[in-house]
Amino acid sequence: MGTVTDYLAGVDEPDRTTLARVVGVARDVVPDATEGTSYGMPALLHRGKALLSAMASAKHLAVYPFSPAAVTAVEPRLDGFSHAKGTVRFSSDHPLPDDVVGGRAAGRPAPRGGRRISWAARAPSGTMDGCPTTPAPACA
């Protein structure tokens, strides 16, 4: 598979629009995200690491935040959605709320500059955008 844009171009409506909205929310939160692949899936990348993939299957749409902790962080907002440790499944008739995709429901601290961090905009384990998940003074 190619880039996210190429992948979305091949998805039928209304799924294309639904997936494009998920990708758009992630891009709004992480404007410097680039397109690439991870685990053979088209993905948004941040600082060279996989952030988020949104794909269609025969029975559902799914978002893969490449982090079980990211799914756990928004789990209270996932009533009515099928999910596992690395994916959340949804449909065009029952799309994910923007705040779940953007990570705001997770109660995550805002990074330097005040922008909230999406599921994908995470740094190495235990940190978010280079700041510990419990904000240190320099990251608050």
Token representation of residue 117:
């961090």
> Where is pLDDT greater, at 127 or 52?
52
Residues ≥6 apart with Cβ < 8 Å to 101? 22, 25, 26, 63, 118, 119
Rg, the chain, Cα only: 14
Percentage of residues in the chain having pLDDT higher than 70? 72
- The pLDDT assigned to 110 comes to 40
**pLDDT exceeds cutoff 60 at 4:** yes
Q: Which contiguous run of DSSP H or E holds residue 89?
A: strand 87-90
Q: What is the pLDDT of residues 82-122, one digit of tens each?
A: 999 889 999 999 999 988 888 743 333 344 343 434 454 44
Tell me how many helices (H) and strands (E) the chain has: 4, 8
- The pLDDT assigned to 81 comes to 94
Residues ≥6 apart with Cβ < 8 Å to 53? 4, 38, 39, 41, 42, 43, 44, 63, 64, 66
